[in-house]
Amino acid sequence: MIRPTVWIPRRLSDATLARARATYDLIVKDDDTPGTADEIIAMSGQVDAMIPCHSEHFTADVVARLSPRLRIVANHSVGVDHCDLAALAAAGIVVTNTPDVLSDATAEIAMLLMLGAARHAVTGDRLVRRGEWTSWSPSFMVGKQVTGSRLGIVGMGRVGRAFAAKARGFDMDIHYYNRSRLPADQEQGATFHSDLDSLLAVSDFLSLHCPATPDTRGLMNADRLAKLPAGAVIVNTARGALIDEAALLAAIESRHVAAAGLDCFQVEPGGNPSFAAHENIFMLPHIGSATVRTRDAMGFRALDNLDAFFAGKAPRDRL
């Protein structure tokens, strides 16, 4: 029996690669750099499937030039804004993602960012690390308390609900905005807002957990940031495109927004150099799902989808 050939452009976990090699003939891009449009197009004539990450972009132009040999794109990610789903569907290429398995890891990073932004983690680390901690007083590094504060969550999907569960451990008063209200067993006492502006008005802390779509790009612009209570803290572990970064910078500089915790940016890798001058912006390099357990689970979920497809079954996570 001829084994399907799979292209893996990024370095996946050892467990994922070991399992993949047991079933498929692999072509792995050893330098672990993003697959370019030309590489994606060239490889499409050599493989039956691809396991790309968010770093590989399947635009309409790229899809139009793909070989008919490529039959499935099994993404190693939950977000699929790097894929033109309509173009891929028109080309007869199945697309899957990896939901469920990274919710807790990403929610942990959101909690880290919220706490770090609220309690001056960047400044505190710098002072101690550089030997600049030379004094103390009751007014030294006074931050914003998380416990008992109102938390607004934009997007109450898997990650949003996982974050809410962790925030309940801090006795936070949880509010959320979602396309539709959750059933009571998922809502867990959180307050639903059918209007985003209504949510913003009560959010001492605001955490973004919605996908980047044409409707949500630039969601947090100057007008919406102004609707937050003075001194609010904003957290983003979803997609950089959700925030107008110039507007956020202006809100930080005016002190209307007290702090921000960001794991994603409009430009990745790299981030926004203008943020670096502000120690009340706590930044991480898009590592929300970066745990051993989660990386293995993501890789296995992608392989589960491939296994089902090549067995003639419907992949669990087909989009």
Using one digit for the tens of pLDDT, what is the confidence trace for 20-45?
Answer: 999 999 999 989 999 999 999 999 99
Collect all residues with Cβ–Cβ distance below 8 Å to 49 and sequence separation of at least 6: 4, 5, 6, 7, 24, 70, 71, 72, 73, 74, 306, 309, 310
Residue range 293-318: average pLDDT? 98
| 33 and 120 together in one domain | no
From residue 113, alpha-carbon distances to 34, 147, 224, 287, 304 in Å are 26, 15, 21, 11, 32
CATH number at residue 264: 3.40.50.720
Q: Which residues are catalytic?
A: 239, 268, 286
Please write down the HEC assignment for all residues of 256-274.
CEEEEEECCCCCCCCCCHH
pLDDT band at 1 (very low <50, low <70, confident <90, very high): low
| Region for 81 from its dihedrals, namely left if φ exceeds 0, alpha if ψ lies in -120 to 50, beta otherwise | alpha
Q: What is the pLDDT of residues 242-297, one digit of tens each?
A: 999 999 999 999 999 999 999 999 999 999 999 999 999 999 999 999 999 999 99
Number of domains in the chain: 2
Domain extent at residue 109: 103-283
Task: Examine the domain organization and report whether 117 and 226 are in the same domain.
Answer: yes
Verify that 137 and 252 share a domain, yes or no: yes
Do 149 and 221 belong to one domain? yes
Tens-place pLDDT, residues 141-188? 999 999 999 999 999 999 999 999 999 999 999 999 999 999 999 999
Q: What is the mean pLDDT of the chain?
A: 97
Q: Determine the Cα–Cα distance for residues 292 and 146; give it in Å rounded to an integer.
A: 28
Alpha-carbon separation of residue 214 from 92, 211, 219, 241, 242 (angstroms): 24, 10, 10, 10, 10
Strand-pair category, 150-154 with 94-96: unpaired
pTM of the predicted structure, to 2 decimals: 0.91
The predicted-structure confidence for 209-252, as pLDDT tens digits, reads as follows 999 999 999 999 999 999 999 999 999 999 999 999 999 999 99
The reported pLDDT for the residue numbered 61 is 98
Residue 140 has a pLDDT of: 97
Do 78 and 155 belong to one domain? no
pLDDT at 319 over 70: yes
Query: Please, are residues 319 and 80 in contact by the beta-carbon 8 Å criterion?
Result: yes
